[in-house]
């Protein structure tokens, strides 16, 4: 029997796509070719497990290998906000992954596992798609794949290519670029970060998060074209968007920046990773003059990702107060870059 997994929206049922004994010889050949493509892609897909469990949040998502040295492209989400991120390869091997970096504008992340000689996609060889193009979507939909189980495969088509206008809850997504709208049910738990390919198994896009259309409020099945994120992915690997704090043995300046000197007060730090929201601004301070506002969420300090109040304060200790301080903040639905300087 030759089969592919179709997953019905919000229902984890696996339905048999085709049975060789029930179809014509020409269709059997087509299905054989189809199965060959799937077999070639499966080793490039990974299953990612991390944070989750609270308020029904699933602790898993998808990703795919983009280098033989273990680099993995996926979406940035709460799943990666964990001290331990487990990655399972197609053959069942398990690795602990580190976050190489992420970009809040495109909401993508790159992970790294300690393996070599891996089957992978080459981003430079990704193909563009037109409306009507037939596609395959590979992902760990509903978390049905664990260990050496194969990823789920959905068959569909590109319905349209348009700019994304979507939201998650009450908040608009940061990414506003081009996406492929798909005639395939990819907007389900676990699918985010999976690979979209053409019918020949050539990489075309990254499956997006669970989002609703800002215009119609319906769930969106979409993927981000690789061409929209390839450069950013390369920059992450090169170290531009680094998520981890500096090494503790890095030399610190004698007089560093601090929240007090900048005139910023963050929300009370009650949680292990309290998001660094600005709760207060001192009048006439560098923060006030630079345009920081109450309610801003600090995402970057000098191109380094900060995920908590504690980490933001820690990063400031590595910046001399004589040097300008560049912040990237999220304000409502926009990302704003601000440079602060002490007089």
**46 lies in the same domain as 158:** yes
CB 204 within 8 A of CB 135: yes
| 332 is a domain residue | yes
Last residue of a domain, one of 238, 273, 295: 238
| 40 is a domain residue | yes
Last residue of a domain, one of 238, 269, 291: 238
Q: What length does the chain have?
A: 343
d(CA 157, CA 184): 7
Q: Which residue has the higher pLDDT, 178 or 19?
A: 178
Average of per-residue pLDDT across 181-207? 92
pLDDT (0 to 100) of residue 293: 94
| 22 is a domain residue | no
Check whether 154 has a pLDDT greater than 60: yes
pLDDT (0 to 100) of residue 3: 35
* Element at 225 (helix H, strand E): strand 222-225
CATH of the domain at 283: 2.30.42.10
How many structural domains are present in the chain? 2
| 100 is a domain residue | yes
pLDDT 10s digits, 265-298: 999 887 666 888 999 999 999 999 999 999 998 9
**198 lies in the same domain as 333:** no
pLDDT (0 to 100) of residue 169: 54
**287 lies in the same domain as 323:** yes
Q: Which of these ranges, 17-26, 29-38, 311-320, has the smallest mean pLDDT?
A: 17-26
**163 lies in the same domain as 289:** no
**214 lies in the same domain as 277:** no
Residue closest to 340 by CA, chosen among 278, 320, 280, 327: 327
**177 lies in the same domain as 279:** no
| 21 is a domain residue | no
Check whether 127 has a pLDDT greater than 50: yes
216 token code pair: 């119609």
**192 lies in the same domain as 268:** no
**96 lies in the same domain as 196:** yes
Tell me the pLDDT band of 82, cut-offs 50, 70 and 90: confident
pLDDT 10s digits, 45-67: 999 998 876 556 789 999 999 99
**183 lies in the same domain as 270:** no
**199 lies in the same domain as 314:** no
Domain that holds residue 120: 35-238
| 26 is a domain residue | no
pLDDT (0 to 100) of residue 11: 38
Last residue of a domain, one of 238, 273, 308: 238
**129 lies in the same domain as 220:** yes
Work out whether the CA dihedral 188, 227, 133, 32 comes out positive or negative: negative
CATH of the domain at 218: 2.40.10.120
**305 lies in the same domain as 215:** no
| 56 is a domain residue | yes
Tell me the pLDDT band of 328, cut-offs 50, 70 and 90: confident
Check whether 299 has a pLDDT greater than 80: yes
Q: Which residues contact 118 (CB under 8 A, 6 or more apart)?
A: 43, 65, 67, 68, 69, 70, 89
**262-278 b/e with 16+ CB inside 10 Å = b?**
bbbebbeeeeeebbbeb
pLDDT (0 to 100) of residue 58: 84
| 336 is a domain residue | yes
């Amino acid at each position: 029997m030759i089969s592919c997994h179709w997953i019905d929206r919000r229902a984890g049922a696996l339905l048999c796509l085709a049975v060789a004994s029930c179809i014509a010889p020409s269709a059997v050949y087509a299905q054989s070719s189809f199965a060959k493509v799937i077999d070639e892609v499966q080793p490039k897909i990974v299953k990612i497990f991390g944070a989750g469990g609270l308020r029904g949040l699933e602790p898993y998502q998808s990703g795919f290998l983009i280098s033989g040295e273990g680099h993995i492209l996926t979406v940035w989400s709460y799943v990666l906000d964990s001290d331990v991120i487990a990655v399972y390869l197609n053959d069942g091997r398990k690795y602990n992954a580190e976050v190489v970096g992420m970009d809040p504008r495109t909401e993508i992340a790159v992970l790294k596992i300690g393996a070599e000689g891996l089957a992978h996609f080459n981003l430079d060889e990704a193909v563009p798609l037109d409306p009507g193009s037939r596609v395959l979507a590979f992902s760990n939909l509903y978390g049905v794949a664990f260990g050496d189980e194969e990823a789920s495969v959905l068959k569909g088509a590109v319905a349209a290519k348009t700019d994304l206008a979507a939201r998650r809850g009450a908040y608009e997504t940061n990414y506003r670029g081009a996406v492929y709208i798909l005639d395939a049910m990819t907007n389900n738990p676990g699918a985010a970060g999976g690979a979209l390919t053409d019918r020949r198994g050539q990489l075309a896009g990254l499956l997006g998060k669970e989002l609703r259309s800002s215009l119609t409020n319906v769930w969106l099945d979409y993927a981000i074209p690789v061409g929209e994120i390839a450069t950013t992915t390369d920059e992450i690997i090169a170290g531009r968007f680094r998520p981890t704090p500096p090494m503790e043995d890095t030399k610190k300046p004698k007089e560093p920046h601090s929240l007090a000197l900048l005139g910023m007060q963050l929300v009370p730090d009650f949680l292990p990773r309290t998001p660094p929201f600005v709760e207060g601004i001192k009048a006439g301070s560098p923060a006030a003059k630079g345009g920081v506002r109450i309610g801003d969420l600090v995402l970057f300090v000098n191109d380094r990702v900060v995920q908590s109040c504690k980490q933001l304060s820690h990063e400031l200790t590595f910046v001399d107060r004589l040097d300008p301080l560049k912040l990237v903040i999220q304000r409502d639905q926009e990302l704003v870059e601000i440079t602060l300087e002490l007089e």
